[in-house]
């Protein structure tokens, strides 16, 4: 047949999972890749052999950034490219150390915005404590790209022998989010559509490694973390529920949502659970550790609005359910369509 790539294959939702599962994994599939974590965990010893014991455990992750527009309230493609990769390392429990950056530039793109993007990346690297140590620059002819695409890849080191994994959630665990949801996606969407808000809304793009360090120090029993980027919190929780063979019950009233995001979602017919975040994390912890951990998170600038939003149950494995204030409930499935292309 003549099946083709759809915009939805980049959504982070069901079509994304389909494409990875049907086209990429069957070929590339190996134990590390097939775990579908935010970052691969590798062991490297001085003889280049992968043995667990006397070896360093390294985290390795990559993301391309194709966001449109390039500059938006709260950030730009360069910040996003640094934070995105730093965050995939951080939520894996690794300390981000080194980045690479590969640029695909469109002929005719102006050097001035390129400089601003590069400066922004440098600042983001400094703030996150990572060094950009290798790069690449390709140019495609006019009309065959879109100004600039950036691919960053990161290396981090696992300091302690701890295994955070989306396969680790267990009934009785609590689900925590580090702050308000949907800020990034709604900012991009409204910038594109020219929608204005009464209160300023900004992308939440930020490096999460500092927050994660504080969290791991306070709560060594954290089971899993993930950054709910494309596809939003719904995707992350569905991935967790599938990987751990557990059910998840969300409490609608406890979801932190900014008023501006709430009204934009109402206006656009969107659900904040499906909207992308670029500076938030989801954590799964043993139930009795949740409140103390949230206290710790709230003391960090990037965790001020942290909240317990749900719990892990043995019922309805691989399924996420949302309970509202009056006790109604509905299934929160993976994003089905494309929602908003080129969000990151």
Ligand X SMILES: Nc1ncnc2c1ncn2[C@@H]1O[C@H](COP(=O)(O)OP(=O)(O)OP(=O)(O)O)[C@@H](O)[C@H]1O
Cβ(76)–Cβ(118) below 8 Å? no
| Position among 8, 13, 37, 201 found at the interface with ligand X (CB under 6 A) | 37
Number of residues that bind ligand X (CB under 6 A): 21
Distances (CA, A) of 234 to 74, 137, 177, 282: 24, 35, 12, 11
| Position among 12, 154, 247, 256 found at the interface with ligand X (CB under 6 A) | 12
Contact between 18 and ligand X by CB under 6 A: the answer reads: no
Return the number of the residue (132 or 313) whose C-beta is nearest ligand X.
132
Q: Which residues pair with 41 in a beta bridge?
A: 59
Contact between 227 and Mg ion by CB under 5 A: the answer reads: yes
Q: How far is the CB of 227 from Mg ion (least distance, A)?
A: 4
Return the number of the residue (63 or 183) whose C-beta is nearest Mg ion.
63
Q: How far is the CB of 146 from Mg ion (least distance, A)?
A: 19
Return the number of the residue (160 or 326) whose C-beta is nearest a second copy.
160
Distance CA 150, CA 102 (A): 6
DSSP code of 166?
Answer: T
Over the window 74 to 93, marking each residue x when it contacts ligand X by CB under 6 A and - when it does not, the resulting string is: ----------x---x-----
Contact between 252 and Mg ion by CB under 5 A: the answer reads: no
Within 133-152, the residues that bind ligand X by CB under 6 A are 134-137
Distances (CA, A) of 176 to 76, 107, 223, 308: 27, 44, 12, 4
Task: Return the structure tokens found at 321.
Answer: 């359910």
Distance CA 93, CA 281 (A): 12
Within 178-237, the residues that bind ligand X by CB under 6 A are 229-230
Return the number of the residue (65 or 290) whose C-beta is nearest ligand X.
65
Q: How far is the CB of 312 from ligand X (least distance, A)?
A: 20
Q: How far is the CB of 134 from a second copy (least distance, A)?
A: 4
Among 133, 130, 122, CA closest to 85: 130
Among 287, 164, 291, 313, CA closest to 224: 164
Return the number of the residue (33 or 331) whose C-beta is nearest a second copy.
33
Q: How far is the CB of 38 from ligand X (least distance, A)?
A: 4
Contact between 60 and ligand X by CB under 6 A: the answer reads: no
DSSP string of 23-83, one letter each residue: IIHHHH--HHHHT--SSEEEEE-TTS---SSSSEEEEEEEEEE--SSSEETTEEHHHHHHH
Distance CA 201, CA 55 (A): 45
Task: Return the structure tokens found at 44.
Answer: 């490297």
Distances (CA, A) of 21 to 17, 39, 210, 236: 6, 17, 33, 16
Q: How far is the CB of 268 from a second copy (least distance, A)?
A: 19
Contact between 42 and ligand X by CB under 6 A: the answer reads: no
Partner interacting with residue 342 (select from Mg ion, ligand X, a second copy, none; CB below 5-8 Å by kind):
a second copy
For the chain, the residue count is 344
Instruction: Return residues touching Mg ion (CB under 5 A).
Output: 38, 63, 84, 88, 136, 227
Instruction: Return residues touching ligand X (CB under 6 A).
Output: 12, 16, 20, 24, 28, 33, 36-38, 63, 84, 88, 101, 103, 134-137, 229-230, 344
């Amino acid at each position: 047949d003549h099946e083709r790539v759809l915009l939805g294959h980049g959504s982070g939702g069901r079509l994304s999972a389909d494409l990875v599962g049907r086209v990429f994994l069957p070929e590339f599939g190996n134990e590390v890749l097939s775990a579908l974590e935010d970052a691969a965990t590798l062991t490297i010893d001085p003889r280049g052999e992968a043995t667990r014991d006397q070896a360093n455990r390294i985290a390795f992750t990559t993301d391309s950034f194709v966001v449109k527009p390039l500059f938006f309230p709260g950030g730009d493609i360069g910040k996003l490219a640094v934070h995105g990769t730093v965050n995939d390392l951080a939520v894996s429990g690794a300390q981000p150390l080194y980045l690479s950056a590969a640029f695909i530039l469109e002929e005719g793109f102006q050097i001035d915005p390129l400089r601003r993007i590069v400066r922004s990346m440098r600042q983001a690297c400094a703030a996150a404590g990572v060094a950009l140590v290798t790069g690449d620059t390709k140019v495609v002819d006019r009309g065959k790209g879109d100004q600039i695409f950036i691919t960053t890849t990161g290396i981090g080191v696992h300091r302690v022998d701890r295994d955070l994994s989306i396969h680790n959630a267990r009934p009785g665990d609590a689900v925590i989010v580090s702050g308000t949801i949907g800020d990034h996606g709604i900012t991009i969407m409204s910038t594109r559509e020219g929608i204005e808000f009464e209160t300023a809304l900004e992308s939440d793009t930020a490096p999460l490694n500092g927050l994660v360090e504080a969290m791991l120090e306070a709560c060594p029993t954290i089971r899993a973390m993930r950054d709910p980027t494309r596809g939003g919190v719904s995707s992350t929780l569905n991935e967790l529920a599938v990987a751990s063979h557990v059910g998840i019950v969300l409490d609608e009233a406890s979801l932190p949502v900014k008023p501006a995001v709430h009204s934009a979602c109402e206006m656009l017919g969107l659900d904040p659970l499906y909207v992308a975040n670029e500076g938030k994390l989801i954590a799964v912890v043993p139930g009795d550790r949740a409140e103390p951990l949230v206290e710790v998170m709230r003391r960090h600038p990037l965790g001020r609005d942290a909240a317990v939003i749900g719990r892990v149950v043995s019922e309805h494995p691989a399924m996420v359910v949302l309970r509202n204030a009056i006790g109604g409930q509905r299934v929160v499935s993976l994003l089905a369509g494309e929602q908003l292309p080129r969000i990151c």
